[in-house]
Amino acid sequence: MSATRTPRASVLPEPGAGSRTRPIACWGLLCLVVVLSACTSAGDSRRHTTGPADGAARSTDASGGGPPCTTSVDALAAPPAGYRLVGTDVAVPDAPVLSAEDAGEADPAARLFAKWGLVVRAGTVVVLRVAPGWQDRARLGWGGTGAPATTATVHACAGEGGQAQWLAFVGGTWVARAACVPLIVTSNGQDDRVTLGIGVPCDKTPTP
């Protein structure tokens, strides 16, 4: 769709080989790029106005049941290259370091921001939170205009026809200073722990 920059969208289809189909394919490619760019701009979590307490922007669940859907920016057949699984339902970047920039936030725990895309198995609800002892040093959030928070709930609604296996969400991690940040991922009643190097690699920074 355990940031930096949003993960690349799934591989775009190549234009048709025939000369008669090439103009149509090019127009389709251009439209898709424009749509994804607009989603990424709207999903920059650093420029939020208001948002739910858990840090995830919501849209309506088309099925009418369960929690509302979190806004995604891409549908994928599988987690993209450069991602690793956390448990069975979540994938996070495998990069040793996620670059962090000044976030412009008043919260001292959100001074720096690393933008990265969270990838969640379609049809699941996951809860991510900063590990105990890090509540005053880190924040997280995905799905659009959600405010930085210590806990974020992401509902990856299944697409129509169940074609999409994974969904990608724009967001990332805020920190008081560059550090190896531990996160707890909860899905299907199971807790999994993952560490992310925000501004520094984890092998250079001990994690409590």
The 10s digit of each residue's pLDDT in 115-157 is 999 999 999 999 999 999 999 999 999 987 567 999 999 999 9
pTM of the predicted structure, to 2 decimals: 0.69
Per-residue pLDDT tens for 62-108?
Answer: 444 567 899 999 999 999 999 999 999 999 999 999 999 999 999 99
Instruction: Out of 32-36, 158-162, 176-180, pick the least confident.
Output: 32-36
Angle made by CA atoms 183, 168, 7, in degrees to the nearest 5: 85
DSSP bridge pairs for 28: none
